[in-house]
Amino acid sequence: MKFLAFTDIHQNEKQIKVLLARAKEKDIDFVVCTGDFSTFGRGAQKMLGQFNALKKKLYIIPGNHEEQGTFFADVISGFEFVEGVHAREVKVGNYLFVGYGTGGFAQEDAEFRKIARKWYSEFRDEKMILLLHGPPFGTTADLLGDRHVGHKDYRAFIERAKPKLVICGHLHETFGAVDMIGATKVVNPGQEGMVIEMK
């Protein structure tokens, strides 16, 4: 399967047009967005409508710009081809996508740990792709200057569950970062997006 992943688009109309053009191509099966697709909620409906019109599935999690109240669930509910993957899992081809969005610079999250225990218990034998808004700790995706600012609970889960791929965002300074945690590839596709192919 081959898909387009992006993050933190924040109403960048020029870049949305570029992503839509690439997503429209026949070789792209679906699209993934790891949050901050709006600017504190503004522009969400318009962007989602544009991707929905492609009639290709958009798997999406909220970022810290979409976390207020029920905003995320409400805004995606009207779009046939948009599927939220926050705090849940969905089978896509031979892979299980699991997602956890929102958050900012927190390094621990009790709710994530609870969900992660469920994922590990029920799905550890699946080929897993983990969608996160914030980056895991200790990679080039969370390095600001000389400090790692990523999420330590995410890192612990990745080391334990060994997903095939982690797609994250949040830090604009690390757009385009690619790193490894053991055998797990970690990418921040940024606003420009990345085309990812999984066998």
Contact predicate 10/65, CB 8 Å: yes
- Chain position carrying tokens 């997503």: 23
Structure tokens at 33: 């967005």
What sign does the CA torsion over 119, 124, 129, 133 have?
A: positive
Domain positions in the chain: 2-197
Per-residue pLDDT tens digits of the chain, which is 199 residues long? 999 999 999 999 999 999 999 999 999 999 999 999 999 999 999 999 999 999 999 999 999 999 878 899 999 999 999 999 999 999 999 999 999 999 878 899 999 999 999 999 999 999 999 999 999 999 999 999 999 999 999 999 999 999 999 999 999 999 999 999 999 999 999 999 999 999 9
Domain 2-197: CATH architecture, name and number where available: 4-Layer Sandwich (3.60)
Contact predicate 67/94, CB 8 Å: no
SS3 state at 24: helix
pTM (whole model) above 0.85: yes
Distance from C-alpha of 53 to C-alpha of 140, rounded to nearest angstrom: 35
